[in-house]
Structure 1
Amino acid sequence: MRVGVVILPEYRWSEAAPKWRAAEEYGFHTAWTYDHLGWRSLVDGPWFDSIGLLTAAATVTSSLRLGTLVASPNFRHPVSFARSLIALDDISDGRFTLGVGAGHAGQDKYDNVVMGTPEPSMRERAERFAEFVELTDALLTTPKTSFEGKHFSAVQARMAPGCAQKPRVPFMIAGTGPKAMRLAARFGQGWITTGTVRDDVDGWWGSLRAQVERFDEALHEQGRDSAGVARCLLLDASPVYSLSTVDTFAEMVGRAGEFGFTDVVVHWPRPDGIYAGDESVLERVASDVLPTLTVQ
């Protein structure tokens, strides 16, 4: 089991840098950050660009993988975004993973409306996401790309020198519905899920079992070996914060493993509000639990 941690992009670099260094020292496999222009209850607070932040994180770490959790088409265009990804992959010496998703209609509402564009319907959101993934894949694997879609276009877009990782940076594709799962099965080196919103913990875990089965079916349709595709669970989508206690974390990781997940992600404790917790719990998880987990 690999464990990643989300460090929200809300801290000035003087405060953020020690957290990114500590994530590596603690033994986390990946450190992620959100890719939004603003987010939910934190929309009026400090918030920094994910690509700039991850680039800075790459300069203060040496082995920690870095990633977006998750980028979306809400305000990104594949052509300009691909350029940023190539630069970040190069600066991090091939330690970058692109977490990408369609964007949530409710949670990402600010991203949807702040640029003055109409909020897409669910159908438009799914179509746009499919184009976004397909075009981003082409841009990162082809020196010159032309593409004409309903939502995105590219005209002989040059992408030299390409990614440091070959054939491109790995994609971890988020999705809980059948269309997104098919995209993950086709293009992804991994799949990310939050489960289905539930008020009770058992109901949340039950929703995950059904999703895992549907993703297996999507992989089978694509003729892919399920053993070669990572499965990542965001533990804090559960009604219970994963780092509320060390025992809570250990129990959730154990259950995730039973469901076939290869990766789990937690959130760095915040002093109040969402993901509020005590950093001492994070430190104890790092010292007492992470070393016991088998990493593949």
Structure 2
Amino acid sequence: MTSERPRVGIVLLPQERWATQRDRWRQAEEWGFDHAWTYDHLAWRTLVDEPWFATVPLLAAAAEATSTIGLGTFVANPNFRHPVPFAKDVMGLDDVSGGRFLLGIGAGGEGFDATVTGPAPTRGERTRRFVEFVGLLDELLTHPVTEHAGEFYTADGARMVPGTVAQPRPPFLVAAAGPRTMTLAAQRGQGWITYGASYATEDGAADSPAVAQERWWAALAEQVAAFDEIERAHRPGDVPLRRYLSLDGAPVYSLTSLELALEGVERAAALGFTDVVVHWPREDGVYAGRESTLEAFAARL
């Protein structure tokens, strides 16, 4: 477990035009956040009919507008990406950011953009696809020329020149909740991302927010213990992975109050997380909150 304060990051959803977004990315850096992120989706959940911009150009603009803060995807996935052109995007973001790019990556969910380009894979296919996707990305980003013929992807003389500023490549931060994806994180990643573990009440009744929050933390502790075991088995004696927790995977939005956000950071540290991530408050709906709370939280970093 870590005894140090976790590094703190913030997610800025890609909903505003860049003329509006620019100042927020700069503000995140000025406030002292260690990393800043955006989602990698074509549309997302309850915001499916709201404005939503592309991830790669947004992060490229953020890289040009900032100078020190880490920048990343929270998280990229194979639902609508092929590893060969995406590796080019990763190399470009690494270059523009001067090596600050953090590749958060996950298997892909079952929401809107799981089917927007065609039928969704089964859960088993999605996991196998993810394993192949990560392995091929690793190969592409560490070799000038790659050949690959797999179940889901082909790379025929795929060039990746001049390579990345970050060596041997940008860090892979793997979002994982089950044993197979946790194993992939331990084997291929430099970090593990989690939104917390799901739980169910015995009678199926809804919990109060306070009870739901405590159940989430208890389930998260069990998930951490499971990952501890997998990391020990697959990385004996190796450098431990950084561990990233989305505090907003919890039932109650972290920036509902300053006290709740600070408590979340402390509890995450006690569970061994090296990094925590919160979301920039929105005016209404998901992640609704006040920017004054975010500013007060940033002042305590």
**TM-score (ref. length: structure 1):** 0.94
> CA 1:203 to 1:227, structure 2 compared with 1: closer, same or farther past 3 Å?
farther
1:216 touches 1:226 (CA, 8 Å); kept in 2?
Answer: no
Give the one of 90, 114, 117 matched to 2:116: 114
- CA-atom RMSD in angstroms: 1.0
1:59 touches 1:92 (CA, 8 Å); kept in 2?
Answer: yes
Answering whether residue 152 of structure 2 is matched by residue 154 of structure 1, we say no
Equivalent position of 2:166 in the other structure:
165
What is the 5 A alignment of 1:49-198?
49-105=54-110, 109-115=111-117, 117-198=118-199
Secondary structure class of the residue paired with 1:191: strand
Distance 1:226 1:5 in 2: 28
Aligned-pair distance for 1:114? Answer: 1.1
Equivalent position of 1:294 in the other structure:
none
Distance 1:81 1:74 in 2: 12
> CA 1:281 to 1:139, structure 2 compared with 1: closer, same or farther past 3 Å?
same
2:173 touches 2:189 (CA, 8 Å); kept in 1?
Answer: yes
Give the one of 191, 213, 217 matched to 2:229: 217
1:137-173 deviations in Å (ceiling 9; x for gaps): 0000011111111111111111011111000000100
Aligned-pair distance for 1:226? Answer: 6.8
Match of 1:130, as an amino acid? Answer: V
Aligned-pair distance for 1:225? Answer: 4.3
Equivalent position of 1:10 in the other structure:
15
2:11 touches 2:37 (CA, 8 Å); kept in 1?
Answer: yes
Aligned-pair distance for 1:264? Answer: 0.4
Aligned-pair distance for 1:258? Answer: 0.5
Give the one of 282, 286, 291 matched to 1:274: 286
Equivalent position of 1:248 in the other structure:
260
> CA 1:283 to 1:226, structure 2 compared with 1: closer, same or farther past 3 Å?
farther
**TM-score (ref. length: structure 2):** 0.93
Match of 2:145, as an amino acid? Answer: K
1:24-83 deviations in Å (ceiling 9; x for gaps): 001000000000000001111111111100000001100010000000000000000000
Distance 1:40 1:148 in 2: 34
> CA 1:255 to 1:227, structure 2 compared with 1: closer, same or farther past 3 Å?
farther
Aligned-pair distance for 1:8? Answer: 0.2
1:219 touches 1:226 (CA, 8 Å); kept in 2?
Answer: no
Aligned-pair distance for 1:124? Answer: 0.4
Match of 2:135, as an amino acid? Answer: E
Structure 1 unaligned residues grouped into runs of 5+: 291-296
Match of 1:221, as an amino acid? Answer: A
> CA 1:224 to 1:69, structure 2 compared with 1: closer, same or farther past 3 Å?
farther
Distance 1:197 1:281 in 2: 27
